[in-house]
Amino acid sequence: MPLRVQIVTAEREVFAEEAVDMVVAPGAEGVVGILPRHAPLLTTLQPGIIRIKRGGGEEAMAVGGGFLQVARDQVLILADTAERADEVDEARAEEARRRARETLAQSITAGQRLSAESARFAIRRETARIQVARRHRGPERHRPSPGPSGP
């Protein structure tokens, strides 16, 4: 029996399917794989990539943390943020990651532990968004452009 999977945020339903073969998600203690007949589970999610496998294909989504619940071949993901690959603005994600790295460096220098942890979280979230977008677009579409001197 396949899995029924639903991914929702406070704003919208991002994904809902009845015939999923496997879900791979960034759980609190590491990556967790969910197959049909999985034991009941409730865990927090870290920022990262959720992979949904069905019918020989795979779809990836970026999540910014949240909760994952498994019960009776149903997977419910309540995500803080979630984006399908084609929804990610890669340039904005790159800029957000750059700003988070700057914040992290400043926080470490100033000894601000809470700010540093928030920046690390943002870096993981933005990195996941970038990876999902690049995976969707393929290797040809995300190569860095040559600098001013060319290749």
Question: Per-block average pLDDT, block size 10, for the chain (151 residues)?
Answer: 96 96 96 96 96 94 96 96 93 93 87 84 91 78 41 38
- Look up residue 9 and give its two tokens: 């945020």
What are the extents of the domains in the chain?
3-85, 87-140
Q: Is 43 exposed, middle or buried (0-12, 13-18, 19+ CB in 10 A)?
A: middle
- Look up residue 53 and give its two tokens: 């496998």
User: What would the pLDDT profile of 46-67 be if each residue is shown by its tens digit?
Assistant: 999 999 999 999 999 999 999 9
Beta bridge pairs of residue 82 = 63
pLDDT of residue 76: 98
d(CA 116, CA 132): 24
Side chain identity, residue 28: A
d(CA 102, CA 14): 31
User: What would the pLDDT profile of 71-92 be if each residue is shown by its tens digit?
Assistant: 999 999 999 999 999 999 999 9
Length of the chain equals: 151
- Look up residue 120 and give its two tokens: 């690390």
Beta bridge pairs of residue 74 = 4, 71
| Nearest in space to 100 (alpha carbons), one of 117, 81, 123 | 123
Right CATH for 3-85 from 2.60.15.10, 1.20.1260.10, 2.60.40.10, 1.10.287.1060 = 2.60.15.10
Q: What is the pTM of this model?
A: 0.78
